[in-house]
């Protein structure tokens, strides 16, 4: 698919709102970029929906809008004209669009202020958000080992979640089941183990789908930082320098060793 005005707008949205995924997409082959930009732009729009209004009913309606878009794509029906929904409908396979419903349902947590009920509830949130997004991207590019993709995406999702803790707490959310240093270490260790377990099955992910996995290129370093220095989480100090990030990304893109 050529980059029309809609896809260009999707790419601009990702560049401005999710620069790390933008970098990962630009490191991917040109042929993989349209679906990645469409999916990552959709993820931004859906993630913003719960925060669009202080009125929970309005936020629910905005999340439901994307749920309806996913249902239309899954049923092969036309979608309402929208600079993200239109290319997403053109590029996403109907059988993968069912993941959008899980993503939208998970995002309802962001509307309210209740903490996660338990570890299973938290894990489901990470899987339905990070996991579903990465699975749609990887499967669109040829992956079939969903278990490997979702295990890797759990590690990447937790890494991103830990980086977002200060912002979530500033919005009066309770983002962690156990926000103590030991609790942070335990969560990061669990996520790192899943990341490494997925890598032992790297051969089950075709090279064509590796660009989808690049979105997690920083996860290992972030999780190790959280294990060593859990205080970095509340300080908002997780992550590498721009130079370190770019060097790591280029190496992983060149070797396909996500």
Q: 15: closest CA among 30, 33, 37, 32? A: 37
Q: Which two tokens stand for residue 230?
A: 């859990």
Q: Residue 189 — φ and ψ, nearest 5°?
A: -65, -45
DSSP assigned state of 180:
S
pLDDT tens readout for residues 159-209: 999 999 999 999 999 999 999 999 999 999 999 999 999 999 999 999 999
Q: How far, CA to CA in Å, does 222 sit from each of 27, 44, 162, 186, 216?
A: 20, 21, 9, 14, 10
Evaluate the CA torsion angle 108, 237, 17, 249 in order and state its sign.
negative
Report the distance separating Cα 216 and Cα 34, nearest Å: 19
Which uninterrupted H or E stretch holds 73?
helix 56-74
**pLDDT tens-digit map of 47-99:** 999 998 889 999 999 999 999 999 999 999 999 999 999 999 999 999 999 99
Q: Tell whether the model's pLDDT for residue 246 goes beyond 90.
A: no
Tens of pLDDT along 35-51?
A: 999 999 999 999 999 99
Query: What pTM value is reported for the model?
Result: 0.96
Give the rounded percent of residues in the chain with a pLDDT score beyond 90.
Answer: 91
Tokens of 218: 């920083």
> Torsion over CA of 175, 37, 48 and 229, rounded to 10 degrees?
20
* Mean local confidence (pLDDT), 231-237: 96
**Beta carbons within 8 Å of 49's beta carbon, 6+ residues apart:** 59, 62, 63, 65, 66, 107
**Distance between CA atoms of 81 and 244, rounded to whole angstroms?**
40
Q: Which two tokens stand for residue 23?
A: 């970098």
């Amino acid at each position: 698919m050529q980059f029309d005005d809609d896809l260009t707008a999707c790419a601009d949205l990702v560049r401005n709102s999710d620069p790390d995924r933008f970098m990962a997409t630009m490191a991917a082959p040109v042929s993989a970029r349209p679906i990645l930009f469409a999916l990552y732009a959709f993820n931004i729009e859906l993630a913003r929906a719960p925060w669009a209004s202080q009125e929970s009913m309005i936020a629910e309606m905005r999340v439901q809008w994307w749920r309806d878009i996913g249902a239309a794509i899954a049923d092969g029906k036309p979608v309402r004209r929208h600079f993200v929904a239109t290319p997403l409908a053109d590029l996403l396979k109907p059988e993968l669009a069912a993941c959008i419903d899980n993503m939208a349902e998970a995002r309802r947590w962001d509307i309210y202020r209740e903490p996660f009920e338990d570890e299973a509830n938290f894990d489901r949130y990470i899987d339905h958000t990070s996991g579903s997004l990465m699975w749609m991207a990887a499967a669109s590019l040829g992956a079939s080992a969903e278990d490997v993709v979702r295990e890797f995406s759990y590690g990447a999702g937790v890494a991103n979640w830990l980086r977002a803790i200060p912002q979530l707490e500033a919005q009066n959310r309770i983002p962690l089941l156990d926000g103590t240093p030991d609790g942070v270490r335990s969560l990061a260790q669990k996520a790192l183990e899943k990341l490494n377990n997925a890598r032992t099955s790297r051969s089950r992910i075709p090279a064509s789908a590796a660009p989808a996995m690049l979105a997690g290129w920083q996860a290992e370093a972030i999780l190790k930082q959280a294990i060593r220095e859990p205080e970095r989480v509340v300080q908002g100090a997780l992550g590498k320098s721009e130079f370190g990030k770019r060097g790591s990304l280029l190496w992983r893109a060149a070797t396909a060793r996500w």
